Structure 1
């Protein structure tokens, strides 16, 4: 589980900002929200509010970026890292960016930090606590020679062959963990962290993310139970009695192979395989509806956007309940009725064990009911005069602003908590 996540000089974030899942001392809704790990109380949910362009999504993008540079290392040392530093300042584009994360995996707490700029990883370090703090590795990059130097902690057993191979495979724009993925030698301490990034921390779910395909493919691979998805859909008042998934082969359209050859140069083997086969496998999904004891099927594309969105969310919920995993989700409420949005959050909180959701949202109804939220699970982003993002929690406000009797929704709407757009009047004169 994620304990803390910090970002500096990344996108709209200039100064160091930290999203923390460490619960405060409140026992409010403790059974639903809090998991105990190594003597720490860790929250399962973080909801981030804020005006458009205030930097909410940047928090999630930074988390996703960290996952990418661990699991998808660049193959060429000339490739630049896919991010921008804070650009509204003369100094920050020339300064390094820093991302760090603290998390639990298999009852061991880890701390991982990466310092980087567009062309290279500058420094990198990994520690674990079991129970005392111990260094796994430290990395420095010789920027002049574009060479990676790695030193392992005294408790890590390696040999010179492994160390030299890992250094050679870790390009200056790769993380050590990414370089390890290209190294055909096992080291348990690194593999454990790789497994956490791959299996616990899931890719960012955008509003444009094609969740239907994500869930369908995992139903086919048995990672998600179709029966679980149907149960969740029924609980959410969708009249769906079955999901029918069929595969069929279709001829490749004229011109597609040539288009792929031009666009996907690094995956030419897959394109060649398609060309030789001459066919592609199409997956058709239909929902079965039972009406007056009669069964009717509708293709997925005929269903409403809300139904299709929640089919995807039902799959996510099945993963969150059955496994230990974390999903960053942008605009959680998109295409969902407010009641369905609350139903999803409550279903997650009441049925999951060691999973987490980190989500941006504009839905304010949850703030009107203290029976379903904790103050330490509510976060805000605010755009400063410098155009940089400030991230803060509802618990950061003192009792002069937020008391036990304060209606949080009214306080948010009135601007006392910031995180809302600073709107002008609605008269717009375009005659000039």
Structure 2
């Protein structure tokens, strides 16, 4: 882990109490379903996703909370796989015995999504363009159907049904996970009692669609991408690295980014004398992105970008029409300094639900991280979450 990533991790742990550092151990499990029908009307012969669970499922199977993960994340929401793991799951500060999402009371499930960003991560199980197409014996590439947030939700529903779970006490997610959480409450209103959207939105507006496209463009401009057909050749590593650089940068606020990179400045000598020389901050950002790119797949990133761009809760004619189906109590927790999914996006969904007579609440997370406050500063909303889940 390079210095830049280490700084991120240390600041994260400094923001957690000693009690928040988990001692619970979890294992990755696998769910498989066949002939999955997508929202777009196509069929995927086999879908495999990984999942984890924390706590104990009660006899009535009515104490279930589903956690849905963010764009670059996976199902590892809490705990550790082994004592040697340096860090716990991303929301360990609020998931565990006695915490806001109390595993003494709730059975908490988290699953990997379709087309997870990191299909080469040993702790991820997913199906996507990098998977083998049984019809050809080769990776799908761009023959894989375009998928939506509704498809992510439908795979999760099948997973829960395989466990005999028919109703959710709550569904909770951050960023792309918040889209899934909201879609759950729209698609299956009679099966969701509560929904928490952290750093989320109700639909992608033009600004957000164009912003997300900046993550896709470097990949598609890389000659090695080869229109998605690169699995038997050199992968578009440069494009993936540039994409992850954009994702990493836009997920932060200048307040924290400048603090972490204070050593870099306009006074650096090398960039003055050589146009090919990078500023130190650019090299550090590139190194951090390169480390993440090891597990990532270019086509998977493109498909995730498209799923987010296509999002409108309900996938119907309007956001108002989609949200009119919601019966769950809802809580929106955007980050005040979020420059990626700005608070107005969550505010709009909350306002519509309020106008429609739903039970809904809205409160902003205060912090220096920007979008990442939904992960690193979530503990400041622990009591709010605890009370909402009661």
**Normalising to structure 1: TM-score of the pair?**
0.21
Flag the structure with higher helix content. 2
**Larger CA Rg, structure 1 vs 2:** 1
